[in-house]
Amino acid sequence: MRSERKKTHPLSPSLPPPPNQTKPNPNKNTGELKPILTNARAPCAAAMDKCAAEEPWFGIEQEYTLLNTHTKWPLGWPTSGYPGPQGPYYCSAGAGAAIGRDIVEAHYKACLYAGINISGINAEVMPAQWVRFSSFFFF
């Protein structure tokens, strides 16, 4: 006689199983050649097509934080605590506050070399937090 296996979450046995697995998954590809329900790119492309004569731009902002590989904390943070008040770090005002700038500039140049239409970089509020901007043209 086969013992009944305890149901667990498919990604982690320590989690309970997902509730009501009979619900349809809106992200599931149905095999039809149409966008899935949660695809926001299709309505965006349709809106851009409607105003193509205006030559619209579409921009993406991607924020990220550089981490220290040893501590797993943001780069430049103290090993036993938090950095000082945000004032000196706000948008990296000054060379001592631009933590990770050499890495960010190398990433920027690599994007340009790879043909990624990156339009700029900027330091954010938290030390080692940066943002990159990409702009796309629709004609």
How many angstroms separate the Cα of 28 from the Cα of each of 21, 32, 40, 77, 95? 13, 11, 15, 42, 48
Say if residues 65 and 129 touch (Cβ distance below 8 Å): yes
Strands (E), the chain: 57-65, 118-123, 129-137
The confidence band for 33, taking pLDDT boundaries of 50, 70 and 90, is: confident
Average pLDDT over residues 37-66: 85
pLDDT of residue 106: 94
Half-sphere exposure (Cβ direction) of 78: Cα atoms closer than 13 Å: 5
pLDDT tens figures, 63-101: 999 999 988 899 988 888 888 777 777 777 677 778 899
User: pTM here?
Assistant: 0.60
Higher pLDDT among residues 104 and 57, named by residue: 104
Q: What structural domains does the chain harbor? A: 58-137 (3.30.590.10)
Q: Contact 126/91 with Cβ under 8 angstroms?
A: no
Reply yes or no on whether the pLDDT at 62 is more than 60.
Answer: yes
